[in-house]
Amino acid sequence: MSEFTKTNEKRLAKLKEVSKQILETGNAHSFILANKEFIQTVIPDDFIALFDTLVKEEYPVENLKKLASKVLNIFHIPIEAYPRIEPVADSFLGVLEQNNREMVLVLDEIRPVFKAFVKDPANDTMQTKLLNKFRKLEVFVKHYTIKENVLFPIIEKAWPDYRCLQIMWSIHDDIRSNIKFVIGQLESGAIDIKTFNRCVGDIFFNMMAIKFREEHILFPVILSTIKKEELEIMNQLGFEIGYPYIQPRTTNKEEQVSVSDGFINLGTGILNAEQIKLIFNHLPVDITYVDEHNKVQYFSTPPKRIFPRTVAIIGREVKNCHPPESVHVVEKIVESFKSGEKEQASFWIKMKGDFILIQYFAVRDKSGKYKGVIEVSQEISDIKALEGEKRLLDW
Residues of the chain with pLDDT under 70: 1-7, 249-262
Strand partners for 361: 344, 374
User: Quick check: helix, strand or coil at residue 109?
Assistant: helix
Strand partners for 364: 370
Cβ partners under 8 Å of residue 393, min gap 6: none
pLDDT of residue 161: 92
pLDDT of residue 391: 83
Give the span between the Cα atoms of 268 and 40, in whole angstroms.
Answer: 44
DSSP 331-368: HHHHHHHHHTS-SEEEEEEEETTEEEEEEEEEEE-TT-
Give the span between the Cα atoms of 208 and 195, in whole angstroms.
Answer: 20
Give the span between the Cα atoms of 52 and 7, in whole angstroms.
Answer: 12
Cβ partners under 8 Å of residue 336, min gap 6: 342, 345
CB-based contact 231:92 (threshold 8 Å): yes
CA 1 to chain centre: 24
Helix residue ranges, H only, 244-309: 273-282
pLDDT of residue 4: 44
Give the span between the Cα atoms of 285 and 301, in whole angstroms.
Answer: 9
Give CA angle at 49 (44, 51), nearest 5°.
Answer: 100
Hey, which bits of the chain come out as E strands?
263-265, 270-272, 286-291, 296-299, 344-351, 354-364, 370-379
User: Quick check: helix, strand or coil at residue 127?
Assistant: helix
pLDDT of residue 248: 77
* CA torsion, ordered 391, 393, 394, 395, to nearest 10 deg: 110
CB-based contact 238:14 (threshold 8 Å): no
Give CA angle at 4 (162, 58), nearest 5°.
Answer: 30
Give the span between the Cα atoms of 232 and 230, in whole angstroms.
Answer: 5
pLDDT of residue 178: 97
CA-based nearest residue to 55, from 144, 148, 156: 156
Residue type, 104: V
pLDDT of residue 197: 96
* CA torsion, ordered 165, 169, 175, 178, to nearest 10 deg: -140
What are the φ/ψ torsions at residue 303 (nearest 5 degrees)?
-55, -35
DSSP 35-86: -HHHHTT--HHHHHHHHHHHHHTT--HHHHHHHHHHHHHHSHHHHHHS--PP
Give the span between the Cα atoms of 258 and 246, in whole angstroms.
Answer: 31
User: Quick check: helix, strand or coil at residue 286?
Assistant: strand
